[in-house]
Structure 1
Amino acid sequence: MILIVDDKRENIIPLKKILELHQLESDSADSGEEALKKTLKKDYSLIILDVQMPGMDGFEVAEALSGSNRTKDIPIIFLSAINKEKKYISKGYHTGGVDYVTKPVDADLLILKVKTFLKLYQQQQELKGLHNLLSKEIEIRKEAQENLEEKVLERTRELQAKNDELEFRNHELQQFAWVVSHDLKEPIRKIEIFVRLIKDRYLIDEAKAHETIERALASSARMTKLIEDLLDYSRLSSSAVPEKTDLNEVVGEVLSDLEYLIEQKGGTIIIENTLPTIDAIQSQLRQVMQNLIGNSLKFSKPDVPPVITITSECVTEKECTSRMNENGNFYRISVKDNGIGFDENYVGKIFTIFQRLHHRDAYEGTGIGLAIAKKIIEKHNGLITARSTEGSGAEFIIILPK
């Protein structure tokens, strides 16, 4: 399958016709962002890539593809009607292209190049497959000599499946980093344009104009917060080195950050016992506690001062209902409040990204905070859950290994 990437349909159609005449199957994308998304779902043997495109240009797309093991070997032929200078051609090869063709295109010459690179790619994939098969065969025979053939084969399959999944997730995040600035920031740019239009043309001393401005700015702020939370969520896949982390200091820093909100709500924070010191990524655990304590303040009852109680105890097993034991291998940390609570049937939903139990007009937020907390705790080989009844507060429980 060949992928044609060009922002103009009038350029894509003749290329597809030329390929069809030579029995070559093709697909198309009208932007660099769409092309990156398509490489997540389909395997392509060749990409014909236009250089001059709005948003991500051809060079940026090629750099993104070369950064992933999934797509780095796909041959790329650049097409350009404008950038014909030597420096652009050199840049095309430097960013991963195998050829650089200027327009108008000689159809016969293009087909010869396409068939050549397709054949080379196919041979490369066959050699890679043979190499992988040979490597696996050698491993199997070595383990067979030690009477561990079956066990090793099973373990190899498990590791391969996990490696493939991790590779795919990593590829998704790489593409996300490239696409997010274009796809998610576009609404903010439009909001800012509309606000400027209102200011320049319609802003006079009347309430309706001011209300329109405030609504536009609020929408912009929500989108900015959404982008920031999404980027926080994606960054959790990057590696960081754990260090000795005193949870008392972590909670103290969070309470200092939330001091104004606590005073505004008339809230009380009770830490019933000394919190533990564990090996962890301090900044990430601070983010977890910020989310949990912040949520307890946010979802407090109207005219009822929030009371938040934080406790810690040792338990024997990595289970929320595990019995308390001073010699246990895990810590159970609880953050309990007297707020509005929620239906416990939805406990799975609240830890899913973009899931909310309340309309955003009632309570601010993007629906990402608890998803971030869950991902962080799981990266620390722990677990997080919640218990609640509507109208009777909520308790969030974290289990972390010593």
Structure 2
Amino acid sequence: MILIVDDIEANIIALKKILELHNLEVDTATSGEEALKKILKKSYSLIIMDVQMPKMDGFEVVEILAGNKKTKDIPVIFLSAVNKQKKFISKGYETGGVEYITKPVDPDLLILKVKTFLKIYNQQNELKIVRDLLAKEIEIRKKDQENLEIIVAERTKELVKKNEELEMRNHELQQFSWVVSHDLKEPVRKIQIFIKMIKERFLIQEEKSLDYIDRTIRSAERMENLITDLLEYSRLSSNVPPEETDLNLIVEEVVTDFDYLIDKKEASIYVGNLPTLTVIPSQMRQVFQNLIGNSLKFVKKDTKPVISVSSQIIAEKSFDSEPSEDGKYCRIEVKDNGIGFDENYIDRIFMIFQSLNVRSAYEGTGIGLAIAKKIIEKHNGLITAKSVANEGATFILILPLTNEIIL
């Protein structure tokens, strides 16, 4: 059961309706005090907590829960329409929350996160049950078996294996949630844009209507392929075979997907001759979609974006390697003239949920570069960036020319 805590009745009704549409059992509380009373009497798998409430705010409630052995493991998602500053978000995680979402809430994203944390919580409970059962069984064996050391070793091995399996599943669910909530947005946005353009501008003109419909279909097909690959990728046991892939075609597809935004911002994109590599095409497409998308997003005011994509064959797997026609690696650079960043924060930009910019000024979840880094490392490559604040950024990729996928 999920507990919704909010002092505004309208918010409770809206959230409850969203969750119940997905057959999720819901309970509600209109204050921190009422929530604590209910939590002590009933068992909840997840709590959705409003931050700003009279008398006792959401942070205070979660601090109390974190100090109680019975309630400390219940996952809490904070919701806030007012406290959107970094210090409040940080405090939410410090007090024990597993997520901090600002209002207005995206219903689809909320459901994805709710279902993910419910699965994680249920699996953690399964792990506790397994541990309890094994502990009891060991006690019985101590009384009934003479060869105690062998039995304990066998059961301990089974317990470690179960722990590893459950930890891997938890990790898979988290990775899946992060990827789905971020990288499926762009194809969906493209579908929305083209359908709207067909409706408002080109419905009467048959030829152009068909053109935009075809583009919409292609975007939907790419989205379907992306979902399939992400499901495999999220399990970290992907059997998606790599194949020889012309990166020129990959970048061309990405640029085509961004053509509306490119026209709107009057951006210039220059693509040099890129190599053909043995890679997983859909994952490599994600990398360039994130990098070029960031270059189009993080632009200076009153400045037209200029983006270049270039490559060199190099001798060694190193950012500073010299060019070599007989080399086994390639160095790819994606350069822009955007807002850049301070290189003192280079380690942060590739971390999950880390962003160096104000969320209200630049939309995003702060995980695109983390996804790009994981994909490059999966291909036995390297990724870094060079930048000066307000003077643009250059992202550098090192990739092997032949298949070195790390499964």
2:153 to 130, 133, 142: 130
Classify the secondary structure of the residue corresponding to 1:318.
Answer: coil
Whole-angstrom distance in 1 between the partners of 2:302 and 2:341: 18
CA offset at residue 382 of structure 1?
A: 0.6
Q: Does 1:74 align with 2:91?
A: no
* Aligned equivalent of 1:170: 168
CA offset at residue 327 of structure 1?
A: 1.0
* Aligned equivalent of 1:330: 329
Code of the aligned partner of 1:73: V
Whole-angstrom distance in 1 between the partners of 2:256 and 2:248: 12
* Aligned equivalent of 2:364: 365
CA offset at residue 169 of structure 1?
A: 5.0
1:64 to 102, 112, 123: 123
CA offset at residue 307 of structure 1?
A: 1.1
Code of the aligned partner of 2:328: N
CA offset at residue 355 of structure 1?
A: 1.4
* Aligned equivalent of 1:252: 252
Q: Does 1:305 align with 2:304?
A: yes
CA offset at residue 251 of structure 1?
A: 0.7
Q: 1:380 to 1:175 in 2, by over 3 A?
A: closer
TM-score (norm 1): 0.51
Whole-angstrom distance in 2 between the partners of 1:277 and 1:164: 42
**Do the aligned residues in 2 keep the contact of 1:319 with 1:399 (CA within 8 Å)?**
yes
Q: Does 1:388 align with 2:387?
A: yes
Q: 1:176 to 1:123 in 2, by over 3 A?
A: farther
Q: Deviations over 1:341-390 (max 9, x none)?
A: 11122111111111111111221111111111111111111110001112
Classify the secondary structure of the residue corresponding to 1:264.
Answer: helix
Aligned residues: 245
CA offset at residue 237 of structure 1?
A: 3.3
Whole-angstrom distance in 1 between the partners of 2:232 and 2:354: 14
Whole-angstrom distance in 2 between the partners of 1:298 and 1:380: 26
Code of the aligned partner of 2:123: A
Classify the secondary structure of the residue corresponding to 2:332.
Answer: strand
* Aligned equivalent of 1:341: 340
Q: 1:126 to 1:363 in 2, by over 3 A?
A: farther
Code of the aligned partner of 2:168: N
Whole-angstrom distance in 1 between the partners of 2:378 and 2:286: 13
Code of the aligned partner of 1:268: S
Classify the secondary structure of the residue corresponding to 2:253.
Answer: helix
Q: 1:28 to 1:272 in 2, by over 3 A?
A: same
Q: Deviations over 1:301-326 (max 9, x none)?
A: 22221111111111111111111111
Whole-angstrom distance in 1 between the partners of 2:355 and 2:130: 41
Q: Deviations over 1:259-302 (max 9, x none)?
A: 100011111111122x1222212111111100100111111222
Whole-angstrom distance in 2 between the partners of 1:314 and 1:387: 20
Code of the aligned partner of 1:119: K
Whole-angstrom distance in 2 between the partners of 1:171 and 1:272: 41
Whole-angstrom distance in 2 between the partners of 1:391 and 1:301: 7
CA offset at residue 9 of structure 1?
A: 2.8
**Do the aligned residues in 1 keep the contact of 2:120 with 2:170 (CA within 8 Å)?**
no
Q: 1:126 to 1:393 in 2, by over 3 A?
A: same
Alignment of 1:6-85 (within 5 A): 9-10=40-41, 28-29=70-71, 64=123, 73-75=130-132
CA offset at residue 29 of structure 1?
A: 4.1
Whole-angstrom distance in 1 between the partners of 2:387 and 2:360: 23
Q: 1:122 to 1:280 in 2, by over 3 A?
A: farther
Q: 1:268 to 1:383 in 2, by over 3 A?
A: same
TM-score (norm 2): 0.50
* Aligned equivalent of 2:188: none
Q: Give % identity.
A: 44
**Do the aligned residues in 1 keep the contact of 2:172 with 2:235 (CA within 8 Å)?**
no
Q: 1:295 to 1:383 in 2, by over 3 A?
A: same
Whole-angstrom distance in 2 between the partners of 1:130 and 1:237: 29
Whole-angstrom distance in 2 between the partners of 1:250 and 1:259: 14
Whole-angstrom distance in 1 between the partners of 2:327 and 2:304: 36
CA offset at residue 165 of structure 1?
A: 10
The RMSD of aligned alpha carbons is 4.3
**Do the aligned residues in 1 keep the contact of 2:120 with 2:173 (CA within 8 Å)?**
no
Whole-angstrom distance in 1 between the partners of 2:339 and 2:232: 27
Code of the aligned partner of 1:384: I
User: Which structure has the larger Rg?
Assistant: 1
Classify the secondary structure of the residue corresponding to 1:74.
Answer: helix
* Aligned equivalent of 1:21: none
Q: 1:244 to 1:71 in 2, by over 3 A?
A: farther
Q: 1:174 to 1:307 in 2, by over 3 A?
A: closer
Code of the aligned partner of 1:282: P
Whole-angstrom distance in 2 between the partners of 1:305 and 1:118: 65
Q: 1:342 to 1:399 in 2, by over 3 A?
A: same
Classify the secondary structure of the residue corresponding to 2:311.
Answer: strand
* Aligned equivalent of 2:16: none
Code of the aligned partner of 2:253: E
* Aligned equivalent of 1:353: 352
